[in-house]
Structure 1
Amino acid sequence: MIGLWDTTGNEVVKALAAERRSAGGVASGMALTLIVVVDEPRVREAEAAVTIASAAHPCRMVVVVRSDVERDRSRLDAEIVVGGRLGPGEAVVTRMYGRLALHAESVVMPLLVPDVPVVTWWHGEPPSEIANDFLGVVADRRITDSAQASDPIAALRQRARDYAPGDTDLAWTRITPWRTLVAGAFDTTEGNLVTSATVVGPRTDPTSALMAGWLKSRLGLEPEWRHTDEFPRMREVTLRCANGDEMVLTREDSMAVFRRAGQADRQLPLVRRPLGDELAEELRRLDPDQIYAEALGAVAGISGLDTRPQQRVHIWKDPTHQQAAAQPAGQGAA
């Protein structure tokens, strides 16, 4: 590992090139550049997730930690790790202070691997508008996590309003096992039409909301979302068919119990995956996820998300100016 304190972006690029030369073959074959935007207290958590994901997707990870944007003097600290504790790829952990933190792209852009896709992941509160962050505008894929927001359902609806093809959310990734099991239930339905569906989960759970949106977009019906605070996450999905058949999938710890009239109950695996596995799943596909767009649109009541322009135009937003504008008149006067 190389540590650079109070350095410059140019020095970081030079140090990374030197470390790559010394590492030799370890640093070859990068499949993508992964930009991770994270606050200081969660850096280790993000690094642990990328270590798992990079085992399947060798990448250059650029961690961006923005701090103390009102500091008078800008400062850049960096750590460079190639083929070490953060997996087989390359990692540059940058900590930016002062006004530099508002222009992180000036440091990040020279660190992007040429001619490979760029993915930006916000590990924390998702941005209100991705176009306000140049690190999202430059990316081919953008990963947020509505579950990290103070109001996850409102954050999910904001993701729909702000959507551009290439966006995704880890709340969607978390229901992949559920969607697989529900879709598998149709293997023996003999073409019976589903007439109603029910999702049971907390009213603040974005995975329950997206499951209901997915069922609505796929089946053309309005699922019932039965709110419960008895369980911390989505508990049950029920499908009812025109012939009176009913299929119920219920979470039981790390298993799901599939119940259907006239058949013995079946236990199916439904393990909660670590964050790194969820991230790895999203890194498998670098094209827009149309199914997610339709499910998200169904949640927010907005159609045609997948037909929007894929490229965003950067909209500059200075939080320090906004704070000054929000300050009551006369406040702060000597």
Structure 2
Amino acid sequence: MIITLPDTSTHEITKNLLKTQEDYSMATGRVLTLIVVADADDDIEAILAPVREASREHPSRVLVVLGAPESEPARLDAKMLFLGDSGSSETVIMTLHGPMANHPAEIVTPLMLPDTPIVAWWPTTAPANPSEHPIGAMAQRRITNARHNVSGNALLRVSSGYTPGDSDMMWSRITSWRGIVASALDRPPHDEILRAQLIGPADNPSVDIAAGWLADRLGVPVERAATNDDIEDHFPIRKLTITRASGEVTIETRGTRTIKVGVPGHPEALVAMDPRSDTDCLAEELRYLDADQAYACALTGLGRVVVR
């Protein structure tokens, strides 16, 4: 169900939210308020798709704030999505025109659920310091998406502007891969680790954050090398080589959904691993609302990575 409210107010939006809940006996068991910050020119359906799917695990009130600062005069247009059009959430899409685009916090505050966590997500371009953004200052968790904002040094932006509670989907994209790495290193022989090398596309920040994670956790020299290809449907970390006294542990991408693992003294193993979508990453980020200490340590480890 879709309700369109052109040139409206937060009072009218709230009234329609309550009326729809009463008329359709909608459950109000929302677990958080998710505020999505984007631009009016972004692909809104591409942004809403992962939100809709992630809501099946995390029923939320979703407030989508779209800035259109060049429009005049100041005006608030809203579209409200319920039931099948919004997954397990209720979604309010608000386009802020003119000077109103500079005051998003004042617009969303009357619409937030009381006594629930607040999460902010920038699916495309994010501010240099999310915690200082008017929306980010209200949120317990702030999620950015450096893979969709690679102009300039996106990795430098997220590391220099880090505040506890920040996270980026480049980190959740490698969760399954990190589990494979940990499993390979748990297998004997458990001798000394000397160094590590990662190979992946030069402009993919997931490769860089993986290198930072290894530098922090292993405490050895880590080299990050670039490939000449950037095949979108392949996992970005093409190959990891960890050198131990007994030989090399290798974790290498084979095709689109297979990882080959080689450990000295053991037969090679093939592990299935699907590429992680924005839906997978967003759902994972919403499971943990405390500060992600492992992510913070990985950002710290970036300073010890050698780039070739």
Question: Map of 1:1-334 to 2, 5 A cutoff?
Answer: 1-24=2-25, 26-40=26-40, 41-67=42-68, 69-151=69-151, 154-232=153-231, 233-242=236-245, 244-252=246-254, 253-300=256-303
Instruction: For residue 132 of structure 1, report the CA deviation from its aligned partner.
Output: 4.4
What per-residue deviation string (whole Å, max 9, x for no partner) do you get for residues 152-179 of structure 1? 6x21112111111000000001111110
- Asked if structure 2 preserves the Cα contact closer than 8 Å seen for 1:48 and 1:86, the reply is no
Distance 1:184 1:283, change over 3 A: same
Task: Give the secondary-structure state (helix, strand or coil) at the position aligned to 2:183.
Answer: helix
Instruction: For residue 38 of structure 1, report the CA deviation from its aligned partner.
Output: 1.8
1:331: which partner in 2?
none
Instruction: For residue 131 of structure 1, report the CA deviation from its aligned partner.
Output: 4.2
Distance 1:231 1:79, change over 3 A: closer
Q: What is the TM-score with the length of structure 1 in the denominator?
A: 0.85
- Asked if structure 2 preserves the Cα contact closer than 8 Å seen for 1:246 and 1:261, the reply is yes
Q: Within 1, Cα distance between the matches of 2:113 and 2:57?
A: 18
1:317: which partner in 2?
none
Q: Within 2, Cα distance between the matches of 1:145 and 1:129?
A: 13
1:328: which partner in 2?
none
Deviates more, 1:215-224 or 1:13-22: 13-22
Instruction: For residue 220 of structure 1, report the CA deviation from its aligned partner.
Output: 0.7
Instruction: For residue 190 of structure 1, report the CA deviation from its aligned partner.
Output: 4.2
- Asked if structure 2 preserves the Cα contact closer than 8 Å seen for 1:237 and 1:248, the reply is yes
Distance 1:122 1:45, change over 3 A: same
Instruction: For residue 8 of structure 1, report the CA deviation from its aligned partner.
Output: 1.1
Instruction: For residue 151 of structure 1, report the CA deviation from its aligned partner.
Output: 3.2
Q: Within 1, Cα distance between the matches of 2:202 and 2:57?
A: 35
Instruction: For residue 230 of structure 1, report the CA deviation from its aligned partner.
Output: 2.5
What per-residue deviation string (whole Å, max 9, x for no partner) do you get for residues 125-153 of structure 1? 1211224421111000000011122336x
Q: Within 2, Cα distance between the matches of 1:128 and 1:47?
A: 23
What per-residue deviation string (whole Å, max 9, x for no partner) do you get for residues 5-37 of structure 1? 01112111111111122232x332111110111
Give percent identity, aligned residues only.
Answer: 35
Task: Give the secondary-structure state (helix, strand or coil) at the position aligned to 1:96.
Answer: strand
Q: Within 1, Cα distance between the matches of 2:27 and 2:81?
A: 10
- Asked if structure 2 preserves the Cα contact closer than 8 Å seen for 1:27 and 1:83, the reply is no
- Asked if structure 2 preserves the Cα contact closer than 8 Å seen for 1:203 and 1:228, the reply is yes
- Asked if structure 1 preserves the Cα contact closer than 8 Å seen for 2:150 and 2:203, the reply is no
Instruction: For residue 261 of structure 1, report the CA deviation from its aligned partner.
Output: 3.4
Distance 1:131 1:106, change over 3 A: same
Task: Give the secondary-structure state (helix, strand or coil) at the position aligned to 2:143.
Answer: strand
Q: What is the TM-score with the length of structure 2 in the denominator?
A: 0.92
Deviates more, 1:104-113 or 1:81-90: 81-90
Instruction: For residue 71 of structure 1, report the CA deviation from its aligned partner.
Output: 3.1
Deviates more, 1:232-241 or 1:140-149: 232-241
- Asked if structure 2 preserves the Cα contact closer than 8 Å seen for 1:156 and 1:206, the reply is yes
What per-residue deviation string (whole Å, max 9, x for no partner) do you get for residues 261-289 of structure 1? 34322110121122111100100100000
Q: Which AA in structure 2 matches 1:246? A: E
Q: Within 2, Cα distance between the matches of 1:96 and 1:83?
A: 25
Distance 1:44 1:240, change over 3 A: same
Instruction: For residue 61 of structure 1, report the CA deviation from its aligned partner.
Output: 0.6
Q: Within 2, Cα distance between the matches of 1:246 and 1:161?
A: 34
RMSD of aligned residue pairs (Cα, Å): 1.7
Q: Within 2, Cα distance between the matches of 1:150 and 1:291?
A: 23
Instruction: For residue 300 of structure 1, report the CA deviation from its aligned partner.
Output: 4.3
Aligned residues: 298
- Asked if structure 1 preserves the Cα contact closer than 8 Å seen for 2:126 and 2:144, the reply is yes
Task: Give the secondary-structure state (helix, strand or coil) at the position aligned to 1:263.
Answer: coil
Q: Within 2, Cα distance between the matches of 1:263 and 1:122?
A: 44
